[in-house]
Structure 1
Amino acid sequence: MTPEAKARQDIEQRLIEAGWVIQDYQDIDLGAARGVAVREYPTATGPADYVLFIDRAPVGIIEAKRAESGENITVAEDQTLRYATAPLKWRGLMTPLPFLFESTGAIIRFTDARDPAPRSREVFHFFRPEQLAHWLAAPDTLRRRLASTLPALPTARLRECQVAAVGGLERSLAHNRPRALAHMATGSGKTFTAITAVYRLLKFARARRILFLVDTRNLGTQAHQEFMAYTPPDDARKFTELYNVQRLSSSTIDPQAQVVISTIQRLYSVLSGEPLDASAEDISLNELQQMPQQAKRVRYNAAVPIETFDFIIIDECHRSIYNVWKQVLDYFDAFLIGLTATPDKRTFGFFNENIVAEYTYEQSVADGVNVGYDVYEIETEVTKKGAELKAKEWVDHRERQTRKRRWAQTEEDQAYTGKELDRSVVNPSQIRRVIEAMKTAVETQIFPNRKETPKTLIFAKTDSHADDIIQCLREVYAQGNAFCKKVTYKAEDDPDSTLASFRNDHYPRIAVTVDMIATGTDVKPLEILLFMRDVRSRGYYEQMKGRGVRSLDCDGLKRVSNSADSAKTRFVLIDAVGVERSLKTDSRPLERKPGIPLKDLLQGVAIGHRDDDTLLSLANRLVRLAKQLDDKARARVETVSGGVSVADLGKGLIAALNPDRIIEDALATAEARGITRSEDTLTAGEIAAARAARVAAACTPFDRPELREAIESARREHEQLIDHINLDQVTFAGYGEQAEAQARKAIQGFADYIAQHKDEIAALAFFYQQPYQRRALTFEMIEELHDRLGRPPLMLTTERLWSAYARVKTSQVKGADARRQLTDLIALVRFAIGLDSELRPFREQVDKRFQEWIFRHNAQRATAFTPEQTDWLRLMKEHIAASCSIGRGDFDYAEFADKGGLQKVWGVFGPALDGLMDEMNRELVA
């Protein structure tokens, strides 16, 4: 058989598999099937190798070439186009045929002439006739729709990095780039970003079906939940109400599904015909790729043709997609979109260096999306040096799988290294010492004020190692089974439910895993990662560290760790095996000088310390401090800094050290001086000068002493020194002369302050200006006054002032034992300036005035209130007692909304409502 004949045989075999009928020109019967491929069909420029007919109409050309022509097959594109534009015999002149193929049988290239700037691409197989008919029936092609301007992206619910990623991807698709990579830090919302892009591709680009590839079954479940929870910005319905989403659990793809979630392992099984092992989808590909496996070629499957998906989104597209699994990505004729936090050179190469978004871990920390981390090291003698078992020693021998033990003597001397621990040798004492050291460190140094163990994840070497760790944890912490759980694929408990409890419930406090939650799985409350296994892969290590980086607000953290007193601002990586030193990781801790106080870092930068360690440590402290401060403290710093926030000051330092930006500045400077430079020809001096200029600009704000003092003052107000050294004892119980003197001093300071600032502070002006102002005393006024009183040197709180009056003017103070509210400051002001002869809680005063006010109304028949109106007025009175005033907008609060809100109360009072509210605001407060 000649090479040409062999190529045609392979081509025709593939056409038949795709559902085409092959005919000779002399035996043509276009009614034999919907899709007919006719050999040697005559055209005005000679016979075409194959002309494709659908529903009796010519639609395409196949130019056949022998296999040896594979590397030069693109040179045949002009020949294919000539046949496609030439009149066909018996057909006369007609529009060019749109579907153009060149093939050697082994290689197939395809061009859709209707695309903008038509560009050929290699495809795994021929398309089915039904697919080409579907494309012909559409008014335009997918690539033409992508090239047109999509509607503007709504940005209200998106972070800046997500907006950049979606925008970059859509620009890439508009230019018909087949592969795109979004490099986004763990925790920055890659899946949410991907779903946003999927929604826009389905709705505006009219994509038929999109594949969302995940690493493990567990991550498929998590992705499915995120699709179900997603609400588009332009539609009140959930994503799954608008589009069908299938989580693939068999070999059958739902023809109605517009999004299919699957592991790459399952699709490989479907396409290769290789049975899927029951646990294959439960093991991360980072681990699975190291297992010996007999690679089997992916073959064409008519039930899952190559046109099944328009787009494939590869979540966590780490290095594992480049071996046997890559066949799945080669099979489908689809755009490939990669999402990863840990790209390497192969990742960039696979995606043709088309990086549509780049958002690093350091940037995510600076933006407050993620938290920074500190490294705490634990080293033991056996971990470092190993040990030796002498011959004839009586020790336990345990089978690895069954864990069945036998008591026997060792046969010979056996030395083992730290790396052999928990594989060939188990040393319970080593595990115990590490766990004890972790417990002590967490309770005394890392989180000394926590009452419960922070949520902790331990990475074990094997499933057996995880069991040993679990037993040791329960003994060292003297806790029951619920305290710590194993989250591996071999765990007896359902791993999904255990993981859900670890994420959302109080117990378990500690989870031990091998690889199940090493990548992708979201556990925001995690604050401790303990590594009891080393990791060879840099990318995999970064993924594992990523389990701890996610930020969490105070309420979210307190839901599972009740004694937490602030938002999650960091996590701590406890390294018990030297994993941090054994790798050069892509992201290092921003904190380089943990022992130097913030004020010294600020001072050091001011006097000229500009090394990376100092600047990154200061940046880390500022970003962390920004999360801890309340709005008022942040505003005070911004007043001094000229509007620059604490977080932005830290971000500026990180940005100044960005090596890419330094190179760009150095090149721009050289160009401005008329010097031609490239990145490779820049001198060390030019790069250093560019760095110095960027750093100087970022450090300029810290030259101002008042800014340094404002930052340090904000830190002092937030933090307290806990003195564990100087022990105290009770020497007296009761009020003494010194206590009364302090109380009198506080009262005098309060009186002097309100007298001095009566015209400056709105709340004080309200009381001093008589007759009463005809505007309401607002809660914001009281908050402002409370904030000013609480600053140095007064440091007066409502609680402290009330206690001081109770000590000095006992007979005039009522409700001294009641719980204080912020509005009690109104009562304090009125008492201090002589408007009231008794100091009573503000709520009591409001209650008394309300009774007097409503009695006056009811005494006049014309203004008497009905029982329903009285009930509403009591609710309004309670709101005034807590918030100083009431207005229409307040009826959205739950206590009103549950009873019908503004619409209902308007129906009860009618147009008189606004007047009644104004009257109550005056009568009950002033």
Structure 2
Amino acid sequence: MPTPETRARADIDAALDKAGWAVQDRYAVNLAAARGVAVREVPLKPGHGVADYLLFVDGLAVGVIEAKRVGTTLTGVEPQTAKYGAGLPDYLDTLVKPLPFLYQSTSIETRFTNGLDPEPRSRRVFSFHRPETLAAWISGTPPAQAAVASPILRAAEDPARYQAVTTLRARLQKMPRLDPGRLWPAQEQAVRNLERSLADDRPRALIQMTMGSGKTYTAITAIYRLIKYADAQRILFLVDRANLGTQAKKEFDAYVPPDDRRTFTQLYNVQHLKTNRIDPTARVVITTIQRLYSILKGEPELDPSLEEGSHFDTASGLVPEPVPVVYNPDVPIETFDFIVIDECHRSIYNLWRQVLEYFDAYLIGLTATPSKQTFGFFNQNLVMEYSYPQAVADGVNVDHDIYRIRTRITESGSTIEAGMYVEKRDRLTRAARWEQLDEDLAYDAADLDRAVVAPDQIRTVIRTFRDRLFTEIFPGRSHVPKTLIYAKDDAHAEEIVQIVREEFGKGNDFCQKITYKTTGVRPEDLIQSFRISYNPRIAVTVDMIATGTDIKPIEIVMFMRAVKSRTFFEQMKGRGVRVIDETEFKAVTPDAERKTRFVLIDCVGVTERMLSDSPPLERAPTVSFETLLQRVAFGSLDRDLLSSLASRLARLDRQLGAPDKARLAECAGGHTLQDIARGIIDALDPDRQVEAARTMFGLPPGEDPTPEQLEQATRELLRQAAAPIATNPDLREQLVSLRRHYEQTIDVVSKDSLLEAGFDAQARERARELTTSFEQFIIEHKDEITALQVLYSRPYGQRLRFADIKALADAIQAPPRQWTTDRLWQAYETLDKSRVRGSGMRRLTDVVSLVRFALHQEEELIPFEEQVEARFDAWLAQQAALGREFTEEQRRWLEWIRDHIVASYTIELDAFDYAPFAQHGGLGRFYQLFGSDWRTLLDELNEVLAA
């Protein structure tokens, strides 16, 4: 049986072969056999050992590979590899000594160091670089010219030419001063900060700029400079969906740099991918990640419809594993030097992250609404933060008002009494029939526009909007402001469009549906008309205009659908924040002087709910059937996803009649839905997975496979079980079609009534009631809840413990109160924004900040994390003033302690048994670093930081 080392070598051989290297034994060397040759087991100078692989390009030695068994941590191998690189025998020719290109690999993980860089630092790479790439780097020749024979030899013959060679990372450190040109100050700062991050060789950087602040223009400015001054060979501009790629291409077309009169696309070739072929001459490539993945898979083409959906929507409620990616020789890892990710949504960093990490490229994220996962993916390297309030203050965005419309059915649903005749409508065909109810039909708000459509509910909302539009919302106007309405789904959008036209007494052009199911006219053309033409005045969408799409004249954003994600809500709301030139604005809305604000009309209470950025659930009970099928089609083998899919298939099978079952079986090559569901369930059985691994690897009965063998066999088992769905688009289409053939009940009986319509003054009253109740709760329980006892009596007689804080939080959330830290924080913010900082998701320890603020012990409500960080910085400054200096390692341990106190309020000795302390020596190492007064130091930090 092969050893782990032998298996790793075999996999490394295969990876080198795919990357264009000829792998040879040292006794059968022929350096002329290929452009790049990797020779195994080459003895080096005495004392330098034997190189596992010595790399030759054009007959000259350029690098080494150190092979290790799977599981080896590779950074510890770097000194060994460097030793090999310096031990090249004198009889071997090279251009650079020591050898510059150093790899360490287990075949599962590979790290690479370019010794030509100013500060050589290893980085993880998906696979090995191609020989011509190393030739280009070492000779200073562009890759296109490096494909010509022997540029390294020519460089060797011309030492002066070689001396002028610089690497990309070296050039990034010598970027010329930025000419601001037409950049806004925030855009200029973003470009400067990004270039500083790149000069420091930070592999990932995040730019957070609010909607409408010119992120794309900022990115194009940075891209122009990276191509012109850093000689970046190719940059990928990744967009969320196809129509945003078209929008980005137009911005590249229009961009004129400050130092040239020509446009960007006159200077450099920009390709907007609409096929699966990357133009080798393109310096910028614009595409969606769906198409990029399709290219990596080697597919000849991609169905354009798969590029239409926003990842905010398709990722909702689902955490699939990253899509499987394997090396593609036609798209090597060095294809792009930089990847700019526009509007970085959370699915990019779970479902699709392996596609990004395939390339040996810097990653630059652009977003208005980052989540915690976004920050984590970019290594917390936020190079620019420009918030909505800042943009409003700078005149880059307009502010907004909230107008609330509440109706009885919207909030409480209704009941149709038995004996009434109701319309039943097929969701897909919209064919209608009438049926008499034999019992009462009660429905709640969640059923609206899904199982039940209540036209009068939609009509009441739209009629209220119409009646209040020119008296309260935009008094004095006569032209309906450009209005964007968010619907629940396409069928809901259809209902809204019809009712809007009726209530406003207008024709088809006045109100248009813009969704992915719009036919006859391209959605892009409708969006363009909405942007620059008088009509449509009102557009109804689901999520096609939810993110990224720039429509500056919008003055009203109306929510007739609920949203759970804070980031998605902010993106949707952000369609209204754009500023617009007065002349352009009046051309679209004649009676508008200038755009000074927009109005968010909330018809479903979305502005009153606590929205969340928490990670999606592990299982997918609320994920659409179509989304599950699409994920399987894209190759996901996530266990929870497949389990949910099997459940849906089994449920659908029970609902179908014999004709539909037979038609599906014929389409599925004889497989019934029950067969497919059973196959998936069987593949999820751990015992079957073990047996599959034994069969795959020829293990004797009773012998347990290794974790790696089990995982490989399991993936293959799951892949085979999912194949009937994954490889059959026709079957998927039929399944979606049948699943949609459920009837909606049309409630034409219930009459809706308006409960409230007006700007959101009521929110302040509700916030005041909540905070008053909270402060009364503190007073009433100050003697019975330990945390309140401590916080109520300053100075503290005892130290507050994490368990005490947890008990306080539980007491606050217990019925009948059911308060949360987030809700209370938002209430205080509603009452006085100037005294509240840090909107968004809260930590458990923030309850301490809340109580202190409620007790008037603090003038401002500040997140506990910010307070601890400020106290920590002040403490460090005090220590420095006292002459106490800390080493880099000591500083790192102090920062870990700070972060632990942020999360747990205090630090106790048992914390050193866990990450990150345990991995670095635990309490013993802490004692070594800080000596005998370590206990005093811990007590001091607990007292100072928790204060």
TM-score when normalising by structure 2: 0.63
Q: How far, CA to CA, are the matches of 1:157 and 1:658 in structure 2?
A: 37
Match of 1:289 among 306, 315, 322: 315
Q: How far, CA to CA, are the matches of 2:412 and 2:832 in structure 1?
A: 37
* Correspondences of 1:195-210 after superposition (within 5 Å): 195-210=220-235
- SS of match in other structure, 2:539: strand
1:153-193 Cα shifts (integer Å, max 9, x gaps): 11231111111110110000001000000011111100000
Q: How far, CA to CA, are the matches of 2:325 and 2:835 in structure 1?
A: 53
Q: How far, CA to CA, are the matches of 1:73 and 1:113 in structure 2?
A: 17
1:175-215 Cα shifts (integer Å, max 9, x gaps): 10000000111111000000000000000000000000000
The 1:663–1:43 alpha-carbon spacing in structure 2 relative to 1, beyond 3 Å, is: closer
Query: Match for residue 242 of structure 1?
Result: 267
Query: Match for residue 213 of structure 1?
Result: 238
Deviates most, 186-195 or 663-672: 663-672
* Correspondences of 1:302-451 after superposition (within 5 Å): 302-410=329-437, 412-451=439-478
The 1:15–1:540 alpha-carbon spacing in structure 2 relative to 1, beyond 3 Å, is: same
- SS of match in other structure, 2:7: helix
- SS of match in other structure, 1:23: strand
Query: Match for residue 552 of structure 1?
Result: 580
Query: Match for residue 836 of structure 1?
Result: none
Match of 2:491 among 451, 464, 467: 464
Query: Match for residue 511 of structure 1?
Result: 539
8 Å contact from structure 1 (residues 486, 513) kept in 2: yes
1:189 pairs with 2:214: yes
8 Å contact from structure 2 (residues 322, 353) kept in 1: no
1:571 pairs with 2:572: no
The 1:280–1:541 alpha-carbon spacing in structure 2 relative to 1, beyond 3 Å, is: same
Amino acid at match of 1:74: T
8 Å contact from structure 2 (residues 463, 503) kept in 1: yes
C-alpha deviation, 1:392, in angstroms:
4.4
8 Å contact from structure 2 (residues 61, 92) kept in 1: no
Percent identity, please: 53
1:126 pairs with 2:128: yes
C-alpha deviation, 1:270, in angstroms:
1.8
1:59 pairs with 2:62: yes
Query: Match for residue 272 of structure 1?
Result: 297
Query: Match for residue 135 of structure 1?
Result: 137
Match of 1:494 among 504, 513, 522: 522
Query: Match for residue 299 of structure 1?
Result: 326
Query: Match for residue 168 of structure 1?
Result: 193
1:229 pairs with 2:254: yes
* Correspondences of 1:256-267 after superposition (within 5 Å): 256-267=281-292
1:489-536 Cα shifts (integer Å, max 9, x gaps): 111221111111111111100000001010000111111011000011
Q: How far, CA to CA, are the matches of 1:503 and 1:542 in structure 2?
A: 20
Q: How far, CA to CA, are the matches of 1:665 and 1:489 in structure 2?
A: 49
8 Å contact from structure 2 (residues 564, 612) kept in 1: no
1:587-637 Cα shifts (integer Å, max 9, x gaps): xxxx997999xxxxxxxxxxxxxx976875999xxxxxxxxxxxxxxxxxx
Q: How far, CA to CA, are the matches of 1:507 and 1:393 in structure 2?
A: 40
1:47 pairs with 2:74: no
Query: Match for residue 73 of structure 1?
Result: 74
The 1:662–1:22 alpha-carbon spacing in structure 2 relative to 1, beyond 3 Å, is: closer
Q: How far, CA to CA, are the matches of 1:304 and 1:253 in structure 2?
A: 9
- Identify unmatched segments of 5+ residues in structure 2: 141-163, 614-758, 765-827, 837-859, 883-893, 903-947
The 1:568–1:517 alpha-carbon spacing in structure 2 relative to 1, beyond 3 Å, is: same
Query: Match for residue 14 of structure 1?
Result: 15
- SS of match in other structure, 2:230: coil
8 Å contact from structure 1 (residues 593, 617) kept in 2: no
8 Å contact from structure 2 (residues 323, 352) kept in 1: no
What CA RMSD, in Å, does the superposition of the two structures yield over aligned residues?
A: 2.9
1:149 pairs with 2:174: yes
8 Å contact from structure 2 (residues 561, 604) kept in 1: yes
Q: How far, CA to CA, are the matches of 1:595 and 1:430 in structure 2?
A: 23
1:445-500 Cα shifts (integer Å, max 9, x gaps): 01121111000000000011101000000000000000011111111221111111
8 Å contact from structure 1 (residues 452, 561) kept in 2: yes
8 Å contact from structure 2 (residues 484, 558) kept in 1: yes
C-alpha deviation, 1:584, in angstroms:
4.1
The 1:410–1:141 alpha-carbon spacing in structure 2 relative to 1, beyond 3 Å, is: farther
Q: How far, CA to CA, are the matches of 2:53 and 2:179 in structure 1?
A: 48
Q: How far, CA to CA, are the matches of 2:861 and 2:471 in structure 1?
A: 35
8 Å contact from structure 2 (residues 74, 104) kept in 1: yes
Amino acid at match of 2:122: S
Q: How far, CA to CA, are the matches of 1:52 and 1:364 in structure 2?
A: 53
C-alpha deviation, 1:413, in angstroms:
3.5
TM-score when normalising by structure 1: 0.64
Q: How far, CA to CA, are the matches of 1:342 and 1:144 in structure 2?
A: 30
The 1:669–1:322 alpha-carbon spacing in structure 2 relative to 1, beyond 3 Å, is: closer
Which of structures 1 and 2 has the bigger CA Rg? 1
The 1:8–1:595 alpha-carbon spacing in structure 2 relative to 1, beyond 3 Å, is: closer
Query: Match for residue 679 of structure 2?
Result: none
Q: How far, CA to CA, are the matches of 1:614 and 1:65 in structure 2?
A: 61
Match of 1:117 among 105, 116, 119: 119
The 1:375–1:334 alpha-carbon spacing in structure 2 relative to 1, beyond 3 Å, is: same
C-alpha deviation, 1:406, in angstroms:
1.6
Amino acid at match of 1:284: S
The 1:92–1:455 alpha-carbon spacing in structure 2 relative to 1, beyond 3 Å, is: closer
C-alpha deviation, 1:145, in angstroms:
3.0
C-alpha deviation, 1:144, in angstroms:
3.4
8 Å contact from structure 1 (residues 61, 80) kept in 2: yes
The 1:262–1:353 alpha-carbon spacing in structure 2 relative to 1, beyond 3 Å, is: same
The 1:595–1:27 alpha-carbon spacing in structure 2 relative to 1, beyond 3 Å, is: closer
C-alpha deviation, 1:555, in angstroms:
2.1
- Identify unmatched segments of 5+ residues in structure 1: 597-610, 620-655, 683-926
Q: How far, CA to CA, are the matches of 1:666 and 1:102 in structure 2?
A: 42
Q: How far, CA to CA, are the matches of 2:131 and 2:877 in structure 1?
A: 60
Q: How far, CA to CA, are the matches of 2:74 and 2:833 in structure 1?
A: 54
